[in-house]
Structures are given as structure tokens and as C-alpha cells.
Amino acid sequence: MYITDRIASIWQEVTPTEEGAMKARVLIESASLGPDDLRIAFQAFDGAWGQIAPSYTTPNDIEAARMRLATLVLSLIGDTKDASEIQAIAMQEMSKGGRR
């Protein structure tokens, strides 16, 4: 899995804030993806987040988890175009990292 330098630099610049819930969506939106890949990425992200969101309760934890999930989704989009597969792999990887 490869993550572009741009995505990695955005990840490092993130500062946890309550209003930062949309940063993960902006990260996906700003990736160099075509319309079909963007749709797949958002579908995978939204599906995975819907499943794991209850595990995160504080604004800082939520933002960090959403950014990590977005980064995972973006790293997987080059390997498969199946949103459910991306969602499953991303959720599996998120579970390995535990709550943050």
C-alpha cells in the first residue's frame, strides 16, 4: 500500500478540533481520483465509519479515527474498486490499531 507524500503531509498537519469532522472528507475529496474512484472511496469511508463510529467518543478521538480511516481508504483504492472490500479491509486495519 502506498500513500502519497501529500496525503502523509496532510495527516501530519491535522490538529484535533471539534469542528474538524469534515477534514477526512476533504482529504478524500482532494486526492487525485476520478469521479468513479471518489464515489467508491466515499462509499467505503461512509460505510466503515458508520460501523466504527460508536467506538470513538471524544472529539479528538473521532477526528483522529476519521483521518486514519480516510488515509486507509485512499491507500486501498489503487488495489481494488470494490467499495465493500475497501470498507472491510479498512475496518479490519482500524480494529488492529485500537482506539486512539
Question: What pTM was estimated for this model as a whole?
Answer: 0.76
pLDDT in tens, the chain (100 residues): 445 555 555 445 544 444 456 888 888 988 889 999 999 999 999 999 999 999 999 998 999 999 999 999 999 998 889 999 999 999 999 998 654 4
Helix axes of 59-76 and 5-13: crossing angle, nearest 10 degrees = 180
Q: Would you kindly state where each structural domain of the chain is located, as residue ranges? A: 5-97
CA 77 to chain centre: 11
Residue (of 98, 93, 66) closest to 79 by Cα position: 93
Dump pLDDT digits (tens) for 2-13: 455 555 554 455
CA 23 to chain centre: 10
